[in-house]
């Protein structure tokens, strides 16, 4: 019997993924990744994911369905590859996506290696995405999940051919409602458990407070500038802002103002009108082509620069240094350095990278 390592968060999605793999004839092993101690992030235990209650929910599902369950300590890896990168990105004036880094470095690197050590044939997560093998090309393809409202292919663009060959996303062919129904029919304790919407290590959403407490540093006041470089107000630290933000902008000008640019080296934030936020081009770095082969010349694509953002048509071209330039057919609002651009061909994910110019 083939073994499947199930990444379990204690939520309904990963729990049903385990049930579905059991029904497919696999021998599941459930695992929850211990990513941090609550004291590390100054949060009470009941407010975070991977809490004691989440672990107990996952353990309960494993006991009911009938497979072993373990908790693995990945705190050091999570601190280095997710939290430290998150903080460093904000301090450099960019806006990170820690969920992408967690999937990339923890689930599909660290946990993937642990699965091999345990002799597992596949690693399984509760992502709403699909994997297909293309007989014509001999390549694996990452595809959107059939539930557009839950599709999570955007956060998986980093996956390699080897990882796709040894990964299964059993939820990709289902809708969320169908998954909850399956959980209820199976009698799972978490069938009606709410989905987590926040960054796991900042459940209250106050990332500025987290950064200041984590680094023990606080940047002082700086200037708001208009697009012509004129000082029109003051702020309490550039890292409190992200491109497109409106909240917290107090300037001596009438009308709504939004963040256009962040300048960490001078502690300045450039603001302007909503119309100034739209642009048609970007350059991304650290780009992963899922096929393992970068295209030559320009290719037609559709892409998004934020999670669940509507897809926009355009063209992509690989530059000499390996970076990828994307030119969209129509302007996109608030393209942000540090976020990711993910490119598609229909339902197939071509790849993605980190936005460095826009």
Q: What is the pLDDT of residue 40?
A: 53
Task: Out of 89, 102, 120, 358, pick the active-site residue.
Answer: 102
57 is in an annotated binding site: no
184 is in an annotated binding site: no
Neighbours of 53 (CB within 10 A): 15
| Architecture of the structural domain at 3-127+169-186 | 3-Layer(aba) Sandwich (3.40)
Tell me yes or no: is domain 277-357 CATH 3.40.50.1010. no
Residue 62, pLDDT > 50, answer: yes
14 is in an annotated binding site: yes
The predicted-structure confidence for 211-267, as pLDDT tens digits, reads as follows 999 999 888 999 999 999 999 999 999 999 999 999 989 998 999 999 999 999 999
Task: Out of 50, 89, 120, 200, pick the active-site residue.
Answer: 200
Residue 269, pLDDT > 70, answer: yes
Q: What is the pLDDT of residue 42?
A: 52
Residue 64 burial by Cβ neighbours in a 10 Å radius (0-12, 13-18, 19+) = middle
Pairing between strand 222-225 and 268-272? parallel
The predicted-structure confidence for 306-332, as pLDDT tens digits, reads as follows 998 999 999 999 999 999 999 999 999
Q: Where, residue-wise, is CATH 2.40.30.10 in the chain?
A: 277-357
Question: Which phi-psi region, left, alpha or beta, contains residue 327 (left: φ > 0; alpha: ψ -120 to 50)?
Answer: beta
Stated pTM of the model: 0.92
Q: Rounded to 10 degrees, what is the CA torsion of 289, 292, 298, 299?
A: -70
Q: Rounded to 10 degrees, what is the CA torsion of 342, 348, 129, 288?
A: -40
54 is in an annotated binding site: no
Cβ proximity of 71 and 55 under 8 Å: yes
Cβ neighbors of 349 (< 8 A, separation 6 or more) are 141, 142, 143, 144, 153, 156, 157, 290, 342, 343
| Angstrom distance (rounded) from CA 342 to CA 351 | 6
| Angstrom distance (rounded) from CA 77 to CA 304 | 29
Q: Where, residue-wise, is CATH 2.30.30 in the chain?
A: 219-272
HSE, CB side, 13 Å, CA atoms: give it for residue 162.
Answer: 5
345 is in an annotated binding site: no
Catalytic status, residue 92:
no
Catalytic status, residue 102:
yes
Q: Where, residue-wise, is CATH 3.40.50.620 in the chain?
A: 3-127+169-186
Q: What is the pLDDT of residue 195?
A: 82
Q: At the topology level of CATH, where does 219-272 sit?
A: SH3 type barrels. (2.30.30)
Instruction: Kindly tell me the number of DSSP H helices and DSSP E strands found in the chain.
Output: 9, 17
The predicted-structure confidence for 178-197, as pLDDT tens digits, reads as follows 999 999 999 999 988 888 76
> Which of the four pLDDT bands, split at 50, 70 and 90, describes residue 51?
low
62 is in an annotated binding site: no
Cβ neighbors of 297 (< 8 A, separation 6 or more) are 317
66 is in an annotated binding site: no
């Amino acid at each position: 019997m083939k073994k499947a390592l199930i990444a379990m968060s204690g939520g309904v999605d990963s729990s049903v993924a385990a049930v579905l793999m059991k029904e497919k004839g696999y021998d599941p092993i459930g695992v929850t990744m211990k990513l941090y101690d609550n004291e590390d992030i100054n949060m009470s235990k009941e407010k975070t994911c991977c809490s004691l209650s989440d672990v107990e929910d996952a353990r309960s599902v494993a006991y009911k369905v009938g497979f072993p369950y373990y908790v693995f300590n990945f705190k050091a890896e999570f601190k280095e590859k997710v939290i430290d990168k998150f903080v460093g990105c904000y301090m450099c004036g960019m806006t990170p996506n820690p969920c992408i880094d967690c999937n990339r470095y923890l689930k599909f690197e660290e946990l993937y290696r642990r699965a091999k050590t345990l002799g597992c044939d596949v690693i399984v997560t509760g992502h709403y995405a699909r994997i297909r093998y293309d007989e014509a090309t001999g390549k694996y393809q990452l595809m959107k999940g059939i539930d557009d409202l839950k599709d999570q292919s955007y956060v998986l663009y980093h996956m390699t051919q080897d990882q796709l060959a040894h990964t299964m996303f059993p939820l990709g062919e289902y809708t969320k409602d169908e998954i909850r129904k399956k959980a209820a029919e199976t009698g799972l304790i978490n069938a009606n458990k709410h989905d987590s919407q926040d960054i796991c290590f900042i459940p209250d959403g106050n990332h500025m407070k987290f950064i200041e407490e984590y680094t023990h540093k606080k940047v002082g006041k700086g200037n708001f500038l208009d697009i012509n470089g004129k000082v029109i107000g003051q702020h309490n630290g550039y890292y409190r802002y992200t491109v497109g933000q409106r909240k917290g902008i107090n300037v001596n000008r009438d009308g709504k103002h939004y963040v256009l640019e962040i300048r960490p080296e001078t502690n300045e934030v450039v603001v302007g009108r909503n119309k100034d936020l739209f642009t048609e081009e970007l350059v991304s770095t650290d780009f992963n082509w899922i096929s393992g082969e970068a295209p030559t010349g320009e290719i037609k694509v559709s892409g998004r620069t934020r999670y669940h953002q509507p897809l926009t048509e355009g063209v992509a071209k690989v530059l000499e240094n390996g970076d990828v330039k994307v030119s969209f057919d129509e302007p996109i609002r608030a393209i942000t350095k540090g976020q990711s651009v993910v490119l598609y061909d229909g339902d197939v994910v071509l790849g993605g990278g980190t936005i460095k110019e826009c």
